[in-house]
Amino acid sequence: MKANEIQKGWVWCKLEEVVQINPRHLSNIVPDDLEVSFVPMAALDEDYWMLRDKRTRPFGEVKKGYTHFAEGDVLFAKITPCMENGKAAIARNLVNGIGCGTTELHVLRPEMGIPSEYIYHYVHQESFRERAAASMTGTAGQLRVPVKFMREVPIPLPSLPEQRLIVARVEALLERVRKAKEALDKVPPIMKRFRQAVLKKAFSGELTAGWRKEHPNLEPAGELLKRIQHERKRRYEEEVRRAKAEGRKPPKKPKHLEMEPLDTSDLPELPEEWVWVRIGDIETFIGSGITPRGGKSNYLSRGIPFIRSQNVWPEGLKLDDIVYISEEQHKKMSRTKVQPYDVLLNITGASIGRATYVPENFTEANVNQHVCIIRTSSNVYHKFLSGFLNSPFGQDQIFSTQAGVTREGLNYNQIRKLRVPLPPLEEQHEIVRRVEALFKFADEVEKRAEEARKRVERITQSILARAFRGELTADFREAVRNWKNLDLEERRKYIFTLPKEEQEKALYEDEFPLEPAEHLLERIRAERAKREGKGTKTRGRRRQSRQLELMR
């Protein structure tokens, strides 16, 4: 079927011919103390017609400066980006049948029994919203769909029974789609909990319990720690000798060169081969950089990468918005030049506690004052330390430390006091390998769920497109043509599309009582002409009667 073709018995008409667009307000007849529903834009969903968060207000508080609507009206967001995102609803279960809300709505009131759902699903189509977006007027950020577009946009009109059947079938299909979406929406939080569970097991030793039994001759972490301490002392003594040989003042002895006893009474029990240590016991350097004087004005489009907190993420460095500093500035900050395998920890701001590491093939870079470098020897696997800092226990330590001492962030002394479980070096590598494999599995699950969600969204639009081409109700039109030859069981499949008072009679008639769409449109036009006829008083009485009827 071509784009502008419709089914036999259907008619094209303008939207304004079958709905009232932004009908008159009720302010002249509704008492100020009457409670009504208040609907902010946030109450409109992007996927479902039901209003999410209706509030109750006295009418006097909202009668001015808000859009008014009544039970059964279709609400269509007209401003960007709400319109493009699909914000729309059907006003149902309004307090006293009246609603008021954001002015950024077009109100569509269906005429002569046309189902509100039929109008809602038509305007909620992605193809409709694309046409509406092309018609928008106004300034950037304040673009709106003009009422002229809403009035003149064409809509296919079947008979009322076929409209009801379209609605019933679309709703049934979309309910299945919604359930699929709900199931897919649960995947990311499930995978988040899965990753946290993996990290918890990894850094408690549970993840590699079987592996340790298969490798009984590992060097215990206690011996590893002794080697780390020996290496730290050797490095300091070498620096002292070099300074003396060069006639320089020897460096001060680091405060944390000698390992102090660690109270582990409040810490979880570890496997026999593991030990608890402080970061200060295993680091060879801790420090953070500065932001060059002049701030952002000194950033360059090329130069030395300058790592900021927004670049540090548990899954790795994200460099899509990296900035650069000059070679000269980089030399001034030589102390905080990053090296491969450095662990980076965000120590201030909203992203405090996020950690990652510098990969092996990373080029020269520096860090600002919000990112702390934690450098260790090769006896501590950088991926293991970074992973622990991102684990539930690592994060709990970080947040309890910064909350207990200062809300502004972590200082170097606090970082050195963070406690870390240290397994044998070979087991550190095995833990990282297993965590990466499980995280890769979780990433793949999320990727497939997202792909499935996109397919489900395409299915939604396909259902709506087929509905308004008449493809979902071809069997109904065939049944109407052959009504005389259908048995009662077949007739009962379609009889619900008629008003209840007509159903029993139609069940036994030779013809289905179908009012053609052309006649329905003529009735709507006649009723509207009568309603809008001459005589101010008559018009006013009729309008008040209609509005009061809507309130009931």
Is the pLDDT score of 350 beyond 50? yes
Span 164-205, pLDDT tens digits: 999 999 999 999 999 999 999 999 999 999 999 999 999 999
Is the pLDDT score of 545 beyond 80? no
Is the pLDDT score of 382 beyond 50? yes
Span 40-98, pLDDT tens digits: 999 999 989 999 888 999 999 998 999 999 999 999 999 999 999 999 999 999 999 99
pLDDT average, residue stretch 303-310: 94
| pLDDT of 297 | 80
Place 533 in a pLDDT band, splitting at 50, 70 and 90.
Answer: confident
Tell me the C-alpha distance between 367 and 437, whole Å.
30
Is the pLDDT score of 552 beyond 60? no
Cα dihedral sign for 481, 482, 484, 486? negative
Which of the residue ranges 206-215, 404-413, 536-545 has the most confident prediction, judged by mean pLDDT?
206-215
Domains of the chain: 11-159+515-551 (3.90.220.20), 273-423 (3.90.220.20)
Nearby residues of 416 by Cβ (< 8 Å), 6 or more positions away:
256, 278, 279, 280, 283, 286
Is the pLDDT score of 258 beyond 90? no
Is the pLDDT score of 359 beyond 70? yes
| pLDDT of 252 | 82
Structure tokens at 124: 């909620």
Q: Give burial (CB, 10 Å; 0-12/13-18/19+) of 497.
A: buried
Span 12-27, pLDDT tens digits: 999 999 999 999 876 6
Place 548 in a pLDDT band, splitting at 50, 70 and 90.
Answer: very low
Q: What angle do CA 528, 529, 535 make, to 5 degrees?
A: 115
Q: What is the greatest pairwise CA distance in the chain? A: 115
Is the pLDDT score of 537 beyond 70? no
Span 222-239, pLDDT tens digits: 898 888 888 888 888 888
* Element holding 540 (H helix, E strand): helix 536-551
Tell me the C-alpha distance between 498 and 478, whole Å.
16
Tell me the C-alpha distance between 303 and 325, whole Å.
6
Closest CA to 159 of 464, 493, 476, 492: 476
Residues of the chain above pLDDT 70, percent = 94
Compute the mean pLDDT over every residue in the chain, rounded to the nearest whole number: 91
| pLDDT of 404 | 47
Which of the residue ranges 50-59, 226-235, 325-334, 458-467 has the most confident prediction, judged by mean pLDDT?
458-467
Nearby residues of 530 by Cβ (< 8 Å), 6 or more positions away:
none
pLDDT average, residue stretch 254-263: 78
Is the pLDDT score of 546 beyond 60? no
Span 97-142, pLDDT tens digits: 999 999 999 999 999 999 999 999 999 999 999 999 999 999 887 8
Alpha-helix runs per DSSP H in 112-256: 116-123, 126-134, 147-152, 160-185, 187-202, 209-214, 221-245
Q: What are the phi and psi torsion angles at 145 (to 5°)?
A: -80, 120
Q: Give burial (CB, 10 Å; 0-12/13-18/19+) of 188.
A: middle
Q: How many residues does the chain have?
A: 552
| pLDDT of 150 | 97
Place 248 in a pLDDT band, splitting at 50, 70 and 90.
Answer: confident
Span 273-298, pLDDT tens digits: 999 999 999 999 999 988 887 778 88
Structure tokens at 528: 């509207």
| pLDDT of 1 | 53
Q: Facing residues of 443 across strands?
A: none
Tell me the C-alpha distance between 356 and 353, whole Å.
10
Instruction: Answer with the residue of higher pLDDT: 549 or 452.
Output: 452
Provide the whole-model pTM.
Answer: 0.76
